[in-house]
A and B are shown apart, each in its own frame.
Chain A
Amino acid sequence: MEFQFVITIWFVKILTLVLRITKKGRGTALPGLIIEKYFPHLIPYILQKSPYTILITGTNGKTTTRTFLSNILQTKYKVLQNRSGSNLIRGIVSEIVSQTNLFGQLDFEYAIFEVEEASMPKITKYIKPEQIIVTNLFRDQLDAYGEVDRTQRFIQQAIDSSQNTQLILNGDDPRVNSMSVGNKNNVQYFGIKDKLIGNFNYEGKKSEALPNIEFAKNIEITNTLGTKFKYNAQEFHINIPGYFNVYNAMASILSALNVGINIDDIRTALTKTKPAFGRGEIININDKKLHIFLVKNPAGLNLNLDLLKNIENINLCLVLNDNTADGKDVSWIWDSNMEILNEYNLNSIICSGTRSEDMLLRCKYALDSENFDAVKIDEMKDINNLLENIRKSEENNYYILLTYTAMLELRKIITGNSLNV
């Protein structure tokens, strides 16, 4: 098997190179695609190569949690990780194959993979993870994933089939904290003890007080939209915009402590972590700052809209695409609390994307008549036009909330490269 594996690695590396040079194939998942198509029987063997493995799943916050945790672990160890958007089996296989050297060796001490919820049971069939982190379970792209109950079943299956796995679960989310019931894994919970909890619309009945729950307290939003919080009487500071990232930070802290990293190194690494791809990152064009926030479901849109509500004279761009990766069903914008825009101090709103008309309509019904009449509100379908408009304007800051493919498109226009950098 090992010999066949090494030969395959050679073959895949050469084929990937040829396809990339001839521009016949692109994307980080290319090696995984080749394996899936020509050597599917090797998938279990490849996945079993993974070292000490931490899997991160849940509807929101996977990428930010992975980013935090890998930054922490990298202070001491070599860490293998997949990239945002490559979170199916194929992406993980790709990552392992790409990082395996020509002698078939994978020189990493830890692997951190973010995994799309429905792929969890497929992955745990072959990888026995040392830790599983579940961030939360909100309603997410029903056209692609089906009901939330269904998604919950997938993660539960994966947890039940893993033995001796340390579970790190969101203790505030009833759908998630119940996942430890009836299985023999060790479990730790994270949560927040703060009035902000009211902004998280977790589904299900609030649970009784949990044992082993670690809370973040005294959450404060900084003027750059970062967050300070206290855990265990120590202060932590994260610079990635969004107080919801406190949950992701807490999950990373618990996980890193399990690995044996000391708390001071964790704190430093958390503070240094920059936003992942589209998670509150700032892109400069000309002299303007574009603040980019990926939104893909009502929970994410609500939390991001809540975060931005105190910005004076805000210029807001709402970009809604309906490609497969965004979800073809845009009904979810009607489940979001866009009525919060009535509390905003708005300068302008621009609606854009393949479903810009739907977004404009949503704004019309969200805003009270006097607010709708008072705000400058435009619709420009094409993201190129949106950017052109921003370039020409006299405003310096734009806050752009956008769906996944809109983010790739925007990034490609600005940097010439849609991939993670």
Chain B
Amino acid sequence: MYKEKLSLKFVHLYPDEMNIYGDMGNVLTLKRRCEWRGIRLEISKVTLESNDFKKGDIYFMGGGQDNDMYKVFEDLKNSKKDFLKEELESKKQFLLICGGFQLFGNHFIDFQGRNINGLGILPLETKAPSDNLHDRCLGNIVTEIHSKHFEEIKNNYGEKPSKYLVGFENHGGQTYYTDNSLTPLGKVLVGSGNNSKEKIEGVLHENIIGSYMHGSLLPKNPHLADLIIGRALTQKYGEEFKLEPLEDKIEWDAHKAILRKMGILNTD
């Protein structure tokens, strides 16, 4: 436990609309992992049509159904875009899953050809070819964390963490970067990732993590959860607040179970 009373502010963007499957697990994981270290995580939310919200240290947006995404996007564009851009520039942490990830890009074109301009924060665009379940990227996914990020994740986590991320993807949208300034979060070993061609998944760009991985993403990937907490702590309190390690056996057992199931680790 830390000597000082530490606290972080967590802002859930549109929890009522953008919560398609298991995304609450990410919120709970950050909350518990802070609590177990004696850090208070204050949770607040940004909702449709309300401008009464607090600033945060960590922002999170999950995936949504297509119709909800339109509503959210309109609202973002009309009243919250500038605020979020300011927060990004002041190095606040952002975790964006699925629909949230798509909305931070340049465009989202749905299966009917409707084009939504994204927030334009990440140079990427997404196109959904059809409404057919067979055309979706759907199933368990395993990635190897991009070498550019792994060093930081390792230093932050303390003990030697897994070099993989595990999750479940379920998305129609095919996402491509529109320039080469972005680095993926991971290299796809099993599954599709951003699209069914390039074998890369998500993005880790400065203080933004975007990903298609549900599962939920953070419970079975404690090293990634801790990266977000560690970065937010450093941002708020400075370098000396190194993250205290936790007992993560149950987390790694669940992580390894997927690695074995998908043939990345040998079963023994």
Contacts and interface: CB of A to CB of B under 8 A. Distances in A.
A and B found bound together? yes
Interface of A: 139, 142-144, 146-150, 328-335, 355, 357-358, 360-362, 364-365, 369
B91 to A, nearest CB: 28
A143 B215 CA distance: 12
A331 B170 CA distance: 11
Interface stretch (B23-31, B52-60, B200-208): B23-31
B24 to A, nearest CB: 6
Contacts, number: 78
B219 A147 contact: no
A361 B251 contact: yes
B115 interface: no
Contact of B22 (A146, A149, A334, A364): A334
B251 A334 contact: no
Contact of A148 (B65, B170, B219): B65
A328 B140 contact: yes
A332 B23 CA distance: 9
B138 A143 contact: yes
Nearest to A339: B28
A334 B168 contact: no
B139 A328 contact: yes
A36 B29 CA distance: 47
Given A146-B133, A148-B65, A334 B254 contact: no
A334 B216 contact: yes
Contact of A334 (B24, B32, B257): B24
Contacts of A148: 65
Given A142-B21, A357-B254, A329 B168 contact: yes
B82 interface: no
Nearest to B139: A328
The 3 closest A-B pairs by CB, nearest first: A331-B22, A334-B25, A357-B254
A330 B168 contact: yes
Contacts of B250: 357, 360-361, 364
A357 B257 contact: yes
Nearest to A142: B21
B66 interface: yes
Contacts of A144: 133
Contacts of B29: 365
A335 B19 contact: yes
A383 B250 CA distance: 20
B19 A361 contact: no
Given A147-B65, A331-B216, 17 more contacts: A143-B138, A148-B65, A149-B65, A149-B67, A329-B168, A329-B170, A332-B22, A333-B22, A335-B19, A335-B23, A335-B24, A335-B25, A355-B257, A358-B257, A360-B250, A360-B254, A365-B219
Contacts of B35: 369
B1 to A, nearest CB: 13
Contacts of A330: 168, 215
Given A147-B65, A149-B66, A361-B219, A332 B139 contact: no
Nearest to B36: A369
Contacts of A329: 21-22, 168, 170, 214-215
Interface string B208-249: 000000111001100000000000000000000000000000
Contacts of A362: 219
Contacts of B251: 361
B253 interface: yes
B48 interface: no
A203 to B, nearest CB: 9
Contact of B168 (A328, A335, A357): A328
24 contacts: A139-B21, A142-B20, A142-B21, A143-B138, A143-B168, A143-B170, A147-B20, A147-B66, A149-B65, A149-B67, A328-B140, A329-B168, A329-B214, A331-B21, A331-B25, A332-B21, A335-B24, A335-B25, A355-B257, A357-B254, A360-B250, A360-B253, A360-B254, A362-B219
A369 B65 CA distance: 34
A335 B254 contact: no
Nearest to A360: B250
Contact of B214 (A331, A358, A364): A331
B28 A334 contact: yes
Contacts of A365: 25, 28-29, 32, 219
Nearest to B32: A365
A329 B170 CA distance: 9
A385 to B, nearest CB: 16
A297 to B, nearest CB: 10
- Most chain B beta-carbon neighbours within 10 Å: one of A148, A149, A362, A365: A365
Contacts of A360: 250, 253-254
